[in-house]
Amino acid sequence: MAPREAATACEYHDYVPPPAAFDKEALVEEFIPTIKYHAARIKMRVPPNIDMDDLVSSGVVGLLDAADRFDPSRGIKFKTYAEFRIRGTMLDYLREMDWFPRSIRQSSTRLRNAYSRLEGLLGRPPEENEVAEDLDITVDELHKRLAMLSGLSVLSHDEYQEDGDGSGIQRFLWEAAKDEAREEELLKDLKEVLAKSIDALPQREKQLIALYYFEDLTMREIGEIFGLGEPRICQLHAQAVLRLRGKLHNQLER
């Protein structure tokens, strides 16, 4: 089965019985293609030392947690809820491993702040040469730093906080995770902010985000469309993510 088919292969039921009625062994068997699909997508964006089997195992834990916590009265399908928990548990596993070195997290925060600050001053997304000048580095050095952030995701808990306190995206995701009653409302608000932030990106980066996250193309396939090499596409992706993180951080701090 192809990976893209796997994402839609599991239709457990439109109506789902209470959690206690789940046959968990059958549930895992039914959802294993979906779990492997999400694990493969994440695996493409993390260092090679991250084991695929460990991602799959954490996804199974997320699925079983979803079965225990699912409330059909909330009006959402179990499949939708389960996929959210599966992916979230995989990301929690990566965060616990601390696979993003502290120095790179700090660099990510500095770059995010530079893009955000300059956009506020200029009234438009800054160009790469403007960001490099602001940071007192060359454009080539900026490209190298962006390349190190190729595994960066828009919504994650891996931002480094100097004071150790969560803020912006980090705090918002934590509140959504701990307050199940408001989770749906909070995530709806987040989607609205994210959609507006994507729409404000430079045209090429907006297209890249759409092709990568919504059309499910690889960096190499996007490079062929843009006529650019895969390394350059990875840099542009990191740049787009940094812009989005800055916008989300500012919006969610209000």
- Scanning the structure block, which residue is given the tokens 């995530």? 187
Structure tokens, 133: 């000048």
Distance of alpha carbon 168 from alpha carbon 223, whole angstroms: 32
Query: Cβ(63)–Cβ(85) under 8 Å?
Result: yes
Burial label, 14 (beta-carbon count in 10 A; 0-12, 13-18, 19+): exposed
Query: Cβ(138)–Cβ(132) under 8 Å?
Result: yes
* Contacts of 224-229 spanning 24+ positions with Cβ under 8 A: none
Residues of the chain with CATH 1.10.1740.10: 3-97
The domain defined by 102-253 folds into Butyryl-CoA Dehydrogenase, subunit A; domain 3 (1.20.140)
Ordered per-residue pLDDT tens for the chain, 254 residues:
334 333 333 344 443 444 445 578 888 999 999 999 989 888 876 666 788 999 999 999 999 998 888 877 777 788 888 888 898 898 888 777 655 666 777 888 899 999 999 999 999 999 999 999 999 999 999 999 998 887 666 655 444 443 333 445 555 555 555 455 555 666 666 677 778 888 989 999 999 988 987 787 888 899 999 999 999 999 999 999 999 888 887 776 65
Q: CATH for 3-97?
A: 1.10.1740.10
Query: Cβ(247)–Cβ(200) under 8 Å?
Result: yes
Query: What is the C-alpha R_g of the chain?
Result: 19
Burial label, 191 (beta-carbon count in 10 A; 0-12, 13-18, 19+): exposed
Residues of the chain with CATH 1.20.140.160: 102-253
**Is 195 strand, coil or helix?**
helix
pTM for the complete prediction?
0.58
